[in-house]
Amino acid sequence: MSLRRLNRNTGFVAGLLVLLMSAGCASSGLLPSLGAPDSRPAESAERGAEAAVDPTIPAAARTLFEQATAVMAAGDFVEAELRFKEFVLQYPEFPGAHVNLAIISAKNEDDDATRAALDAALAADPNHPAALNQLGMLLRRNGNFLEAEAAYLKAVTVSPDYALAHYNLGVLNELYLQRLEPALQHFEAYQALVGEDKQVERWIADLRRRVAASQSTANVAE
C-alpha cells in the first residue's frame, strides 16, 4: 500500500497549472483535475488548477500569462518556461508565474531553480498557498520533513479549503512521520473538499482500521 501511495505522488508535478496570478491573493481550494493524484503519492502538488485571477491585473499581463499556461497545459514545458521567464521579467510581482516556473524546474529535477522560483513567489506573497505547497514538496523531497510540514500547515492556515495541502499533509504524516491520526484527519479534510475520490476513500478506511487497532493496543498495554 505504501509503495503505491509513494508512486502516486512522484509523478504528480506536471499536472498543476497555477493560474492565480494575483499578488497577495489567497487561493481558493485547489481541486484535482489534471493527472493522477500521487498514486498513493508521496505527495501531490499538481492535481488541480487555480482558476481565480485578480481583476486588477493589466490586460497585457493577463494575455501573456494565459498564453504561457496554455503552452504548459499542452505539455511543452521548454516553451512554457521561456514564456513564464519573459512574463516575470515584465511582471515580477505576480506569484503565480513564479510558482509555475517552480513546477517546471521540479519536473526537471533542478532543486536550486525550484527554490529560487519559490522564494520569488513568496517574496511577492508570503501567504501564497500554491507556493507554500510546492515549497513543502521540495523540502519533503530533500528529507526535511518537519520543515515540509510547516510549509503545508501554513498553506492550510491561510487557505483552509486548499485541498492539495491537506492531501500532502496526509501523505507526509502517514508515510514519513508515521503519525496515523493526523494523516487520517488531513485525508478526511481533503475528501470533504474534493468530493468522492475512491482511492483516497480506501486509504481513509485503511487508516481508520489502523488507528483503531493502535488505540486498542494502547488500551491493552495500560
Write the single-letter amino acid at 144.
Answer: N
Instruction: Decide: residue 16, CB within 10 A, 0-12 exposed, 13-18 middle, 19+ buried.
Output: buried
Regions of the chain where pLDDT drops below 70:
1-56, 218-222
Within-domain flag for 190: no
Within-domain flag for 222: no
Residue 95: φ, ψ to 5° = -70, -30
pLDDT of residue 68: 92
Sorted by sequence, the CB contacts under 8 Å of residue 125 that are 6+ apart come out as 23, 24, 25, 95, 131
Within-domain flag for 117: yes
pLDDT of residue 82: 97
Within-domain flag for 44: yes
pLDDT of residue 16: 44
Dihedral of CA atoms 54, 120, 45, 181 in degrees, nearest 10, equals -100
Tally of domains in the chain: 1
pLDDT of residue 23: 41
Within-domain flag for 177: no
Residue 62 grid coordinates: 493577463
Within-domain flag for 88: yes
* CA–CA separation, 62 and 55 (whole Å): 9
Closest CA to 46 of 116, 119, 130, 120: 130
Within-domain flag for 36: yes
Within-domain flag for 23: yes
- Give the residue numbers spanning the domain of 75: 2-164
* CA–CA separation, 169 and 190 (whole Å): 10
Output the domain CATH number for residue 16: 1.25.40.10
